[in-house]
Every structure is written in C-alpha cells, then in structure tokens.
C-alpha cells in the first residue's frame, strides 16, 4: 500500500520491516499504527514492507512500544537507514493504476485514458494526497455511496483526502457537499480535483470538527480511523438530520466496530449494517433523534 508525499527536499528515513507469521490484516493494522506515528509512505516487499518518514519525526521508542503490543504469532523486526531525497510524485505515479468500483464508477488519473462507457468517471491527481479508491475502506465507502439516495441532499465528507468521496457524491446528484481535511496538502488536492471533475457544488475547508458548518446534513461520510471517529461522533450526531445516515470506515471488524457501535448508541445513532473487505469495515448508521 502507498500514501504519496512530495516534500522532495526533506530528509527521510527508510525503515525496512520483516514480518514473520500472522495474518495480512495484522500487518495492515500495524501499518495503520505506524501511519499514526507520522509515516506517510509504505511499499510492499516480499518479506514485509518499507515505511518512510521525515527523519525529524522518527521516534524509535514509539516503534519499539508498538512492537511490544504485537500478538505472539506476528513477529516483526526492522532496520533503519537515511535516504537521499526522492521524487515521490514519480514513485506514486509509477504505481498508480485505474480502478473500477461496483462496475459503475471508473477512477483514473490525468495520465490515463478516459472510459466514457462507465456511468461515473472520477479523475484524481494522485501526486497530492491519500485517497484514490485503491484502499479497501475507500472502495467500501464508494460502494455504499453508489447505492445511496443522494440526489438533492446535503453531504458532509470528513477526512476527505483527495476528495474522491465528495466528488462521487456530487456526481450522483448531491445538492451540496462539504469536504473537510486537516491536512493542507489534502486541502490543495481537493481544490485541484474539484476543477478536474467539474463539480462546483463541493465546498472545501481545512481543519477538523471545529470547522464543520453548523447546518443539517442528510448524509455524513467519515473514512478516518477509530480513535478520531470516536472523538468526532458527537459532532456528527449534532449536525445529522433526523433519519439521516452516517457512513463510517477506516477501522477493522471486531473490537473497533464494537466500540463505535457502543458510542453510537449513546448518541441515538442506530447501527443498520456493515460491509467487510479483508477485515476492513464500512458501517452504516441512522440518526434516531430529532434536532433541537
């Protein structure tokens, strides 16, 4: 898996992780934890993966702590080396392939040929930010969106990345879409991708839950991670219309989903269903209480 970054003049460290035993989902979870520590690019290898981080942000003590929390059946070792600056744009583009979702939506980069036979086409400039539909959580959310009644509705996309979900919502008829991400790189990416896809109905904000316009939403999308979702659930509930729907992803089946369900119940958010792909989950909730 990859997350592109493009600060070419920054000193980076390359950590090579060798994984023995365990399941694929356990490696994915470990990578997710590394991303929370500041790693922004990952590359699969035959024996595990490589991970890249700005050298100034490298915290070996935090990595050692993560290793201590791994299950006994999943053993990981690693080595570290400083690397010369890379052209991360070129690395990412060389590994980016177009995808299709539910045989209805075609996601491509600017350097791929269009396919007008698809019902929807989304153009994503991959050199700018995370979120191109390749990850299981993004494709699960897109599948849910394609099956949702979005026409004429107001949609909020939290942690929007490249804006792929917001763009799809606009293309399938949302009246207004608010897209929010705390990362300035993502903010600039969404602005570019809005123009590429000609979807002016999207309003983009840089920040977190504090910048959400306090207006009622019919549908809220949040593909982030469990801890952030738990923190932001009360805010989502406060701006979600009665019987409005909330689509969450970015977490695993099992304890992650259980914690989110328990938190949702306290906010009168009813769990409706879930989709699972390689242990990753997208879950649908509905607002049960009336707005004050």
Both tokens assigned to 130: 């995370």
Q: Is the pLDDT of residue 265 over 80?
A: yes
Residues 72 and 171 in one domain: no
Q: Is the pLDDT of residue 15 over 50?
A: yes
| 108 within domain boundaries | no
Residues 171 and 279 in one domain: yes
pLDDT more than 90, % of the chain:
59
* Half-sphere exposure for 8 (CA within 13 Å, toward CB): 9
Q: How confident is the model at residue 225 (pLDDT cuts 50, 70, 90)?
A: confident
Does residue 159 have a known ligand-binding role? yes
- Among the residue ranges 2-6, 221-225, 255-259, the one predicted with the least confidence is 2-6
User: Where residue 51 sits, what CATH number does that domain have?
Assistant: 3.30.70.930
Average pLDDT, the chain: 87
* pLDDT number for residue 88: 56
Tokens 């991360």: give the residue. Answer: 88
User: Where residue 210 sits, what CATH number does that domain have?
Assistant: 3.40.50.150
Both tokens assigned to 119: 């019902």
Residues 82 and 191 in one domain: no
* pLDDT number for residue 3: 43
Q: Is the pLDDT of residue 206 over 60?
A: yes
Residues 207 and 77 in one domain: no
**Single residue among 90, 115, 146 that ends a domain in this structure:** 90
What is the secondary structure of 128-197 as a DSSP string? S-S-SS-SHHHHHHHHHHHTS--TT-EEEEES-TTTHHHHHHHHTT-SEEEEEES-HHHHHHHHHHHHHH
183-199: per-residue pLDDT in tens? 887 888 899 999 999 99
| 68 within domain boundaries | yes
Residues 135 and 77 in one domain: no
Helices and strands (H and E) in the chain: how many: 8, 14
Number of domains in the chain: 2
Residues 74 and 194 in one domain: no
| 104 within domain boundaries | no
User: Residue 183 and residue 164: Cα distance in Å, rounded?
Assistant: 15
Both tokens assigned to 284: 């649908």
* pLDDT number for residue 132: 56
Residues 142 and 82 in one domain: no
| 283 within domain boundaries | yes
**Bigger pLDDT: 59 vs 36:** 59
| 273 within domain boundaries | yes
CB 178 within 8 A of CB 214: no
Does residue 133 have a known ligand-binding role? no
* pLDDT number for residue 120: 95
Residues 84 and 33 in one domain: yes
| 101 within domain boundaries | no
| 269 within domain boundaries | yes
Q: Is the pLDDT of residue 98 over 90?
A: no
Q: Could you tell me how far CA 95 lies from the centroid of its own chain?
A: 18
Q: Is the pTM of this model over 0.85?
A: no
Q: Could you tell me how far CA 253 lies from the centroid of its own chain?
A: 16
Does residue 181 have a known ligand-binding role? yes
Residues 147 and 206 in one domain: yes
**Bigger pLDDT: 182 vs 248:** 248
User: Residue 136 and residue 121: Cα distance in Å, rounded?
Assistant: 19
Average pLDDT over residues 85-97: 62
**Single residue among 90, 113, 144 that ends a domain in this structure:** 90
Residues 135 and 197 in one domain: yes
User: Residue 101 and residue 138: Cα distance in Å, rounded?
Assistant: 10
Average pLDDT over residues 125-130: 53
Residues 72 and 158 in one domain: no
**Single residue among 39, 63, 90 that ends a domain in this structure:** 90
The whole domain housing 81 covers: 12-90
38 φ/ψ sector (left φ>0, alpha ψ -120 to 50, else beta): left
pLDDT more than 70, % of the chain:
88
């Amino acid at each position: 898996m990859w997350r592109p970054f493009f600060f070419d003049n920054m000193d980076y460290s390359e950590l090579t992780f060798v994984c023995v035993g365990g399941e694929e989902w356990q490696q994915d979870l470990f990578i997710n934890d590394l991303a929370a520590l500041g790693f922004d690019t990952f590359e699969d290898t035959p024996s595990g993966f490589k991970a890249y981080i700005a050298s100034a942000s490298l915290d070996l003590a935090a990595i050692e702590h993560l290793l201590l929390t791994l299950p006994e059946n999943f053993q990981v070792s690693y080595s570290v080396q400083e690397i010369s600056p890379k052209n991360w744009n070129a690395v990412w583009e060389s590994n980016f392939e177009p995808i299709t979702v539910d045989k209805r939506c075609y996601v491509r980069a600017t350097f791929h040929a269009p396919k007008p036979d698809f019902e929807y086409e989304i153009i994503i400039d991959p050199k700018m930010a995370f979120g191109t539909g390749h990850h299981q959580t993004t494709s699960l959310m897109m599948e849910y969106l394609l099956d949702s009644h979005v026409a004429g509705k107001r949609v909020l996309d939290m942690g929007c990345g490249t804006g792929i979900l917001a763009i799809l919502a606009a293309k399938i008829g949302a009246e207004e879409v608010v897209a929010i991400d705390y990362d300035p790189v993502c903010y600039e990416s969404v602005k570019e991708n809005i123009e590429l896809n000609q979807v002016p109905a999207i309003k983009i904000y840089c920040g977190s839950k504090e910048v959400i316009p306090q207006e009622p939403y019919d549908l809220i999308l949040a593909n982030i991670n469990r801890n952030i979702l738990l923190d932001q659930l009360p805010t989502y509930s406060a701006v979600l219309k009665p019987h409005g729907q909330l689509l969450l992803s970015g977490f695993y089946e099992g304890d992650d989903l259980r914690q989110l369900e328990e938190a949702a119940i306290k906010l009168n958010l009813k769990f409706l269903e879930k989709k699972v792909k390689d242990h990753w989950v997208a879950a649908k909730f509905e607002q049960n209480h009336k707005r004050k």
